[in-house]
A and B are shown apart, each in its own frame.
Chain A
């Protein structure tokens, strides 16, 4: 490959990495057809690799790609014969001309509108994060399938189905009006947090990029919607968690729980930024789920200065958080905080009941937390049973090893 080819290829790759979602959003905005936008953009990239080495890299590569992709779209419409299509063709041409007059070379950023379409309430919750990864970042169905532990063919089908729904059901590409914004924004933030958790909880894949992708999405939402406290709250929450990335594993690769982590391994820069964002969010005086979760993490990391954890504050944050969400997972974590703050028996009594929350039946942390509380209350046999159950439910070998160690320590204490 000669030097010019190399340069053209590099620029095309850079644009693909940085602007993929922006370009898809622009192309799909009017037609709401994500699948064909992807096809036209792929064709435009192919044209770029073919013509840039000859003609040189254009001054505005994004505008060049958009123009080529739009032309390919119009060519496609021109070839189709039905009347409905020629009408929409004329409409598109009109909008095209108006748009060019408006923006010239200044390309609007429609990525947020694209994210709102992907996280629309009419789209199945589970496919929202994958859809955002594909449309905004251009990840392939194979890459996404690997990250979400789903067969590639299944993921491909589910993504295709979601894109077909966007197109055929007329899901709009727009940032919702103020009165419905918070509800819709929650769906976008939930999808980003689901993406983060997917990467965060899979210890096997530390090179897994989902955590980084989620952080990137979150910074994009903050950039585009800086006046929404929950967008800041989510960013703060993920920064707090991410600051402990290195401390989560021992030198031997074993799992290290929060309570045993070496605080000098925490990333101060991330924590400072998280504190700043959380403070900014709280100044807007509208409390929300992510701000509360971030506040809990903030109380945990305060340990790096005080060397003790403020369980009383954490207990109170969980109380509000449970009132807000009614989530069984929140109630579970709250019970542990109550145990630390008000005594282990009280914490044990505060655990969520499985009869009330059947979704906890196969939830590993439920049994791990209950085991820990039972252990503190001296109910050794019951604690052992719960550790066994937690071990059986856990997929990650390092976490299993950690739980087994706790269980075995219990057996020893009964022998002595």
Chain B
């Protein structure tokens, strides 16, 4: 099965970190990504620029409406994601627990819904 790990974290936390701490954080993610790749679990993964760069789009009455900012204003925001291959929910949870983001934010684990399945 494939699962998405949605990494939610406080954006402000990165802003107040020292360069050394940021370096440490990046290194932790690099190591995590490498572990995913080596085990064959990695399907895809990206980090996202902060919500200050987000635009939210809706089409209302045929007109495209764009708003500055994220879909939902909240303290913790989607900061990145991984798509992984795991044999069941337990192994997906085990990967989520190893993600550096799990230690200061929260990882939402969602199964991928293949297009050919009901």
Contact = CB atoms under 8 A, between A and B. Distances in A.
A174 B90 CA distance: 10
A82 B116 contact: yes
Contacts of B111: 168-170
A32 B92 CA distance: 16
B114 A172 contact: no
A84 B88 contact: no
Given A169-B109, A172-B88, 9 more contacts: A32-B88, A84-B114, A84-B117, A120-B89, A122-B89, A122-B93, A168-B113, A170-B89, A176-B90
A411 to B, nearest CB: 53
B88 A170 contact: yes
Contacts of B89: 120, 122, 169-172
Contacts of A170: 1, 3, 86-89, 92, 111
A103 interface: no
Contacts of A168: 111, 113
B90 A172 contact: yes
B86 to A, nearest CB: 8
A83 B114 CA distance: 12
Interface of B: 1, 3, 86-90, 92-93, 109, 111, 113-114, 116-117
Nearest to B90: A172
Interface string A137-174: 00000000000000000000000000000001111101
Chief secondary structure at chain A's binding surface: loop
A172 B90 CA distance: 7
Contact of B116 (A84, A122, A176): A84
Which of A83, A122, A169, A176 is most buried by chain B, counting CB atoms within 10 A of its CB?
A169
Nearest to A80: B118
A41 B89 CA distance: 26
Contacts of A172: 87-90
Interface string A230-267: 00000000000000000000000000000000000000
A168 B1 CA distance: 10
Interface in A65-118: 82-84
Nearest to A180: B90
A301 B90 CA distance: 42
Contacts of A32: 88
A94 to B, nearest CB: 16
A122 B93 CA distance: 10
A120 B88 CA distance: 12
Nearest to B86: A170
A189 to B, nearest CB: 19
29 contacts: A82-B116, A82-B117, A84-B114, A84-B116, A84-B117, A120-B89, A122-B89, A122-B93, A168-B111, A168-B113, A169-B109, A169-B111, A170-B1, A170-B3, A170-B86, A170-B87, A170-B88, A170-B89, A170-B92, A170-B111, A171-B88, A171-B89, A171-B90, A172-B87, A172-B88, A172-B89, A172-B90, A174-B90, A176-B90
Contacts of B114: 84
Contacts of A120: 89
Contacts of A174: 90
Contacts of B93: 122
Interface in A24-40: 32
Contacts of A82: 116-117
Contacts of B92: 170
A122 B113 CA distance: 18
A187 to B, nearest CB: 13
Interface in A184-227: none
Contacts of A122: 89, 93
B67 to A, nearest CB: 33
Contacts of A176: 90
Nearest to B3: A170
Contacts of B88: 32, 170-172
A316 B86 CA distance: 46
A22 to B, nearest CB: 21
Nearest to B94: A180
Which of B89, B109, B113 is most buried by chain A, counting CB atoms within 10 A of its CB?
B89
A222 B40 CA distance: 38
